[in-house]
Structure 1
Amino acid sequence: MQTGMQSTGQAAAAQARGRQYRYFDFVMVAFVVVLVCSNLIGPAKIATVDLPLWGPYVFGAGVIFFPISYIFGDILTEVYGYARARKVIWAGFGALIFASVMAAVVVALPPAPFWKHQAAYEVAFGNAWRIVAASMIAYFFGEFVNSFVLAKMKIWTAGRALWTRTIGSTIFGEAVDSAIFYPLAFYNTGIIPNEALPTVMFAQFIAKTVVEVAFTPVTYAIVGFLKRAEHEDYYDRDTDFNPFKIEA
């Protein structure tokens, strides 16, 4: 009897994964665009703002937008399930690799004699490969942790209290992302003093989490709309969580 019920559940899961959705591709494109732009454009500028009770707060401008990729990751997992979110994460990873290679090639091409902007172009798009590699590795682990935690929390909470899943999964995902990225990218480089790395990591982690919390009402609205429009509210009860399994 138990085997029969398990087979029925797996068949239902397979049928759900084979469905065609009206808005899935739009969410996937939005995720990839935010991911590539925040990694390619954001790191080019270091910004500062004066915060009450904190003082000057220095941060990479991409921090404002990068957490939005986690929000889209939350939406994908919450509505369509981990397996489909996994495909999107891999799509984003591929797009990030292509954008990084393209930037490196374009920067390396010799400029025309009359073009005087090579130095500025190198500053904007000539990120060191160590930073690029660190960003990719951190993204890979952080996004999969985020999606996995949200999928599991949805089962544990029986689909209630969406905010606990979106914020909770982001805390884990962003913590992993920050803990991997900053040491790999900046340790012993002199760009950020080694003793300052923990402070920078914590500040960036807090900033990213605050963005997630601030966008919670938007996340609720988008998730609610998609669940109604797609007639889908996927629960990952029989999902294979292997991150290297590409098919949905």
Structure 2
Amino acid sequence: MIRILPGVLAMAAVVVASNILVQFLFGQWLTWGAFTYPLAFLVTDVMNRVYGKREARNVVLMGFAVGVACSLIGTQIQGEFGPLVTLRIALGSGLAFLTAQLLDVSIFDRLRDGAWWRAPLASTLIGSSVDTAIFFTVAFSAPLTFLEPVNDVSWANESLPLLGGGPIVPLWVSLALADWMVKLSLALIALVPFRLIVQRLTARAA
């Protein structure tokens, strides 16, 4: 338990920070959460490579529990524009996180024996895609308004051209697509810290 504690704390911090930052736009099509959440996949993959599938799954589950608990507390704290974390965001985040991260763990483990970059890249790309689809649908789509009727998500359902130049879709679809593209880009960039962190932890354990 002690050896994976840094991973658990890092995972919880990423979940809480992302749940808050996803409510704030960065430019026209992104939220600040798009830049923090991909770190969850980096944490999971490092734990998987260094300590194995079982420990990686434990990091996901414990980080999930701590992160969701903190996020639910955030739903009770009022910020400038309402709750610090809305219930729908907490639900969407929890469902998306657990599904995508456990999928990431399984895919990584199956590709473990290939080239060093193959497992983290493939697992992150697939996990990120699933995560984005689940989170934005639960958190912002109009058909699921019944999950939290008091939370006004009409701003996210304003009809606009996709990323400013495509077919007319709800704003949240453009946010999801932009978020997904950022995650794919960061999946490539994250290979560098993944390699460095794994080497350092492996050398320390030797």
Q: Do the structures match in fold with TM over 0.5?
A: yes
Partner of 1:114: none
Could you tell me which residue of structure 1 aligns to residue 24 of structure 2? 45
Check conservation: 1:45, 1:61, Cα contact below 8 A.
Answer: yes
Aligned to 1:33: 13
Offset from partner CA, 1:132-175 (integer Å, 9 cap, x none): 21111111101111111111111xxx2x4221111110111011
Q: Which residue of 2 aligns with 1:177?
A: 131
CA distance in 2, matches of 1:204, 1:106: 26
Q: How does 1:110-121 map to 2 (within 5 A)?
A: 121=79
Q: Provide runs of 4+ in structure 1 moved above 3 Å.
A: 124-127, 196-200
1:123 aligns with 2:98: no
Ranked by relative contact order (alpha carbons within 8 Å, sequence separation 6 or more), the top structure is: 1
Q: Which residue of 2 aligns with 1:84?
A: 55
Contact 1:138 1:178 in 2 (8 A): yes
1:127, CA displacement in angstroms?
Answer: 3.3
Counterpart of 1:212?
187
Counting aligned pairs with the same residue, the percent is: 21
> In the TM superposition, what are the counterparts of 1:86-101 in structure 2 within 5 Å?
86-101=57-72
Question: 1:43-97: per-residue Cα shift (whole Å, max 9, x none)?
Answer: 242111xxxxxxxx52110111110111011101111111111111111121122
- Cα deviation per residue 1:2-39 (whole Å; 9 max; x = unaligned)? xxxxxxxxxxxxxxxxxx77x43223322222222222
Gaps of 5+ in 2: 143-152, 160-168
TM-score by length of 2: 0.80
Q: Aligned ranges for residues 145-156 of structure 1 at < 5 Å?
A: 145-154=103-112
User: Partner letter of residue 192 of structure 1?
Assistant: A
- Cα distance in 2 between the residues matched to 1:202 and 1:58: 9
Asked if the contact 1:179–1:201 (Cα under 8 Å) also holds between the matched residues in 2, the reply is yes
Q: Secondary structure at the match of 2:30?
A: strand
Please list the CA deviations of residues 189-231 of structure 1 after superposition, one character each: whole Å capped at 9, or x if unmatched. 4333372454432221110121121121111011112122224
Whole-angstrom distance in 1 between the partners of 2:108 and 2:178? 23
8 Å contact from structure 1 (residues 46, 59) kept in 2: yes
Q: Structure 1 length normalisation: TM-score?
A: 0.68
Between Structure 1 and Structure 2, whose CA radius of gyration is higher? 1
AA partner of residue 22 (structure 2): P
State the Cα distance separating 1:122 from its structure 2 match.
4.3
Residue 182 of structure 1 aligns with an amino acid whose one-letter code is F
Partner Cα separation in structure 2 for residue 106 and residue 200 of structure 1: 25
Q: Structure 1 unaligned runs (5+)? A: 1-19, 49-56, 108-120, 232-248
Give the whole-Å Cα distance in 2 for the aligned partners of 1:202 and 1:103.
Answer: 26
Question: How many pairs were matched up?
Answer: 185
